[in-house]
Structures are given as C-alpha cells and as structure tokens.
C-alpha cells in the first residue's frame, strides 16, 4: 500500500456505529428545542471575514480558519509588499472568507440581513459543525458540532429561565449528571467598578475565573501578573470569599456593590431568574457562581456554563445574553440570549460513562437469506413485503454459503434471519430464526410480515 490516507489534524471520521450514537444525542436535543418552540436554521460553513473578525476577541481571531481566495491572488502584488513581511496585513489580500467559529455570530448576521422577514422574538435552533484552529487535545477538536438555541428580540429573563429548563431536560434525558453555573456580566462589571478598576474588567474576570483551579492566592498572583494594583486586589477580596446559596451571595453582594448601578441591575436580574427557577425546580443543581466569567467577548448579561458532574472534560454546554451583537451588523438595540451544546464532548462523556442505550437508532431488523437463482424471485418478494410492512430488511446480495450469511447477521446484530429455501417455498412457508435465542419458527409466507412485526416488538 502506498502512503496511508488520513484526515487533517483535529478532524475525525464517524463510523456508522458512532453516527447512530451521535444521532441519538442530536435527536434528543433537536426534539427538546422543538418542544420549546425553536425553529431550525442553517447558515453556510464559510462567512466573510468581515463578519467573523473582531467578535471573539484577539484569541478568537487567531483561531479562525481562513480560506484562500480563488484565482491568482498574488498577481497584483508588488514584490516589495512581500518584503514588508507583516503577515497579518498581507493575509487580508489573500483571504476574505473564513470557516465559521461558532453559530451565534452567523445567526446575528442572519437576523440583521433578514430583519424584514422575521417577527420578533425570534427563536431558532441550529445544529452544525464549527471550526477552530486550536491545538487539539482530548475533548478539543478542530471541527466539532454545536447545537445552539437562541432567542433574539426579547429582554425577558423568562428566556434565560427556559433555556436552563432546556439544558436540564436534555441532560436528564441523556442521563448525564450536570452542574449548571450561572453568573451575570453586569455583576462582574459592578465588582470591578467597586474595586476601582472598571476599565480592567477583562483582566479581572479572566483571573477570577481561575478561582476554582488556582485558589484565592493563585488568583491574586494572576491579578498581579496582569498588572492589577495590590490596592485593587485587596478590594476584590470580599468577592472572592462570598459563599452560600444564591440568595445569600446576592444579599452579601448588594451591600458590597451598592454604589454600582450596573452591578445592582445584574443582581436584580439574577434574583428574577432564580425566582423563576424556584417555580419549576430543575433536576440538576443550578448555582450562582460569581467566579464564572467564561464566555465569548460579546456577552453582556447572564452567562451560563454546564459541566459534567462525573467526568472532567471542560464545559459541555455554555451560553449567555448578548445585548448588542446585531448592533455590530447595523441593527442596534436588539438583545438576544442563547445556549450551545457541545455534541462532541457530550458524546465523549456518554461513551466514558457508558450511558448510551444498547440499541441506538435504526439498524436492519431482518436478513433474508440468498439461496441462489432458483429461489431468488420468492426472496425478492419476501423482502419487498417486509419492507412494505415497515420492517428494515436486507436481502443478502450474494448466494454464498449460509455460514457466511449467518455470520454477517451476527456481526451486524441483525436480530432475525428469514430462511426460505426450496423446501419452504414449495410449502409457501419461511423459517424465521431468532439470532439471540436460536429459536426457529416456520410460518406461512402470507403471515410472515405480521409475525416479524410482532417478533420485533418483543
């Protein structure tokens, strides 16, 4: 064999067995989105770079896959321009399209572009792959599927509430134990402002986000490294040590950030959200986590993150509210909120914890044995009759040894095998073998579809 073929780094093939399991996940997510009134939408794999760039922060821009322009993009270029050697500015002459990095920004673009056709609030769901030029690791791929549900054109916290209901329902149907953490960007802004460093909110939140991992001393170090003054860090201290239930934390917070309008707004939003959550309790624990800062640059209010309780693989679902994403595309004043399920990580979690049901999705229910030319007309008829009755049926394409045909049924986990050789056909009968029990039953051809239907329901 010549050089073995392969797929690019960080991308994968999905075998039929894997696809059946993946579809099990997608089906549950899709069904749940649909029950909450979300409508399907798809957008192109590639977007103009002007749509993508500047939406995800500096790091995000770096991770966008760029598509080379078609044609001879070097033709108009002065050799001296190449000597200038600024690859970033040169790149804009070679490339004006990129692969989508998430589903939220293309959605915002869609909403602005089609605003006249949309009645608000607009709820859409979208299940498609996204691409990131990250260095792959376990649970981190360069091509992966996101399952997004967003509502745009409504400020109501009821949307947040329902999205958390969706998260809870999806994961309880998938049998994954999760922790749902929520926080609010306005609270984080209020904390930064109270500490006297409102302009350093990004550095402060990124550091605070590492509280769980580094501990409070580690966070102080991180803050120092990011150039936050010891003075400010000292004033941040009370926030790092807030404990207790959501209510208790918020009571403490209200005292601390009373001077920040924005912070108080954030707290009242969270109070409203938690009051809704009290009306319809979740199966999963929903916690107010003041150290939660994750999320893309564009989040402005609620932020949500979901982690698997029984496996460390990073977040498997995340989301939040963005007040001005459409503003960047020329439609200001429209707020949206959404969540995104990471199908690939959910798959990894379920595989690791053995949570997939034994039979995931469709596969062949009956195999008709091929005996050769003389019996073939009858076998074709049998196959057709079974399919007509809604039974997933295969006719073995080659008249090879029975041993081979039975091994195939065994390997494919086909539960029933239909044997209709010359003997059976003469008597207008067929023998049905149950591959699990080994039990064989002879039935008349006319009663066969009904017999199989009953057999498969047992």
Partner RNA sequence: GUGGUUGUAGCUCAGUUGGUUAGAGCGCCAGAUUGUGGCUCUGGAGGUCGCCGGUUCGACCCCGGUCUUCCACCCCA
The footprint of RNA (CB under 7 A) covers 1-4, 6, 8-10, 57, 59-60, 63, 102, 132, 134-142, 144, 146, 206, 210, 213, 294-296, 306, 314-318, 340-342, 344-345, 401-404, 406-407, 409-411, 417, 419, 421-424, 431, 433, 435-438, 440
Helix axes 230-240, 246-256, angle to 10 degrees: 150
| Residue 47 near residue 100 (C-beta atoms within 8 A) | yes
By DSSP bridging, strand 336-342 and strand 143-152 are antiparallel
> What residues does 319 pair with on adjacent strands?
304, 339
Q: Quick one: tokens of 342?
A: 């990471």
Please identify, using beta-carbon distances, which residue of 245 and 440 lies nearer to RNA.
440
Report whether the peptide linkage leading into residue 64 is cis, meaning its omega lies within 30 degrees of zero.
Answer: no
| Closest distance to RNA from the beta carbon of 318 (Å) | 4
Please identify, using beta-carbon distances, which residue of 78 and 217 lies nearer to RNA.
217
In 3D space, the residue among 362, 341, 175, 164 whose CA is nearest the CA of residue 270 turns out to be 164
Q: Quick one: tokens of 131?
A: 């691409």
By DSSP bridging, strand 366-368 and strand 393-395 are parallel
What is the helix, strand, coil percentage profile of the chain, to 5? 45, 20, 35
> What is the torsional sign of CA 116, 121, 124, 130?
positive
| Closest distance to RNA from the beta carbon of 241 (Å) | 22
Q: Is 46 helix (H, G, I), strand (E, B) or coil?
A: strand
| Closest distance to RNA from the beta carbon of 32 (Å) | 16
Report the alpha-carbon distance of residue 287 to residue 427 in Å, rounded: 69
| Closest distance to RNA from the beta carbon of 155 (Å) | 22
Cβ-based neighbour number of residue 175 at 10 Å? 12
| Closest distance to RNA from the beta carbon of 193 (Å) | 21
For every residue of 338-366, DSSP letters joined together read: EEEEEHHHHHHHHHHHT-S-SS-S----E
Please identify, using beta-carbon distances, which residue of 54 and 136 lies nearer to RNA.
136
Please identify, using beta-carbon distances, which residue of 267 and 316 lies nearer to RNA.
316
Q: Is 251 helix (H, G, I), strand (E, B) or coil?
A: helix
Strand ranges (DSSP E) for 69-177?
Answer: 95-99, 122-131, 143-152
| Closest distance to RNA from the beta carbon of 258 (Å) | 29
| Closest distance to RNA from the beta carbon of 390 (Å) | 24
Please identify, using beta-carbon distances, which residue of 156 and 297 lies nearer to RNA.
297
| Closest distance to RNA from the beta carbon of 336 (Å) | 15
Please identify, using beta-carbon distances, which residue of 331 and 402 lies nearer to RNA.
402
Please identify, using beta-carbon distances, which residue of 91 and 259 lies nearer to RNA.
91
Q: Quick one: tokens of 145?
A: 């599927």
Angle at 185 between CA 183 and CA 186, to 5 degrees: 110
Please identify, using beta-carbon distances, which residue of 45 and 118 lies nearer to RNA.
45
State the Cα torsion 84-89-95-99 to the nearest 10°. 140
| Closest distance to RNA from the beta carbon of 174 (Å) | 14
| Closest distance to RNA from the beta carbon of 261 (Å) | 26
Please identify, using beta-carbon distances, which residue of 243 and 401 lies nearer to RNA.
401
Please identify, using beta-carbon distances, which residue of 118 and 179 lies nearer to RNA.
179
């Amino acid at each position: 064999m010549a050089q073995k073929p392969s797929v690019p780094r960080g991308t994968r093939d999905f075998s039929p067995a894997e696809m059946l399991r993946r579809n099990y996940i997608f089906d549950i997510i899709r069904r749940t989105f649909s029950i909450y009134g979300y409508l399907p939408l798809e957008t192109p794999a590639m977007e103009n770079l002007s749509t993508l760039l500047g939406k995800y922060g500096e790091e995000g821009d770096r991770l966008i896959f760029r598509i080379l322009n078609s044609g001879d993009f070097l033709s108009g270029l002065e050799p001296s321009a190449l000597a200038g050697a600024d690859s970033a500015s040169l790149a804009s002459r070679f490339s004006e399209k990129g692969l989508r990095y998430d589903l939220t920004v293309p959605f915002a673009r869609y909403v602005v572009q089609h605003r006249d056709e949309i009645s608000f609030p607009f709820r859409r769901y979208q299940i498609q792959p996204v691409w990131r030029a990250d260095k792959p690791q376990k649970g981190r791929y360069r091509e992966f599927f996101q399952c997004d549900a967003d509502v745009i054109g409504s400020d109501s916290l009821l949307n947040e509430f329902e999205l958390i209901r969706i998260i809870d329902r999806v994961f309880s149907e998938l049998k994954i134990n999760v922790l749902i953490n929520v926080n609010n960007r306005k609270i984080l802004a209020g904390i930064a402002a109270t500490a006297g460093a409102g302009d350093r909110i990004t550095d402060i939140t990124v550091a605070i986000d590492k509280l769980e991992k580094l501990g409070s001393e580690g966070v102080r170090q991180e803050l120092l490294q990011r150039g936050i003054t010891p003075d400010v860090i000292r004033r941040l201290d009370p926030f790092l040590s807030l404990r207790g239930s959501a209510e208790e934390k918020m009571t403490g917070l209200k005292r601390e950030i009373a001077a920040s309008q924005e912070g108080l707004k954030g707290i009242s939003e969270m109070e409203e959200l938690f009051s809704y959550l009290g009306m319809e309790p979740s199966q999963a624990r929903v916690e107010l986590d003041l150290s939660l800062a994750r999320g893309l640059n564009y989040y402005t209010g609620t932020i949500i993150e979901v982690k698997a309780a029984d496996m460390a693989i990073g977040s498997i679902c995340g989301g939040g509210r963005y007040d001005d994403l459409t503003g960047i595309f020329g439609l200001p004043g429209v707020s949206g909120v959404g969540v995104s399920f990471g199908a690939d990580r959910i798959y990894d979690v379920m595989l690791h914890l053995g949570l997939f049901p034994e039979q995931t999705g469709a596969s062949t229910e009956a195999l008709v044995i091929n005996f050769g030319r003389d019996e073939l007309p009858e076998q074709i008829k049998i196959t057709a009759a079974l399919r007509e009755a809604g039974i997933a049926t295969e006719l073995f394409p080659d008249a090879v040894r029975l041993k081979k045909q039975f091994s195939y049924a065994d390997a494919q986990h086909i539960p029933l095998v239909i044997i209709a050789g010359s003997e059976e056909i003469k008597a207008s009968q067929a023998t049905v073998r149950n591959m699990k029990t080994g039990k064989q039953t002879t039935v008349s051809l006319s009663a066969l579809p009904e017999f199989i239907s009953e057999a498969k329901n047992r």
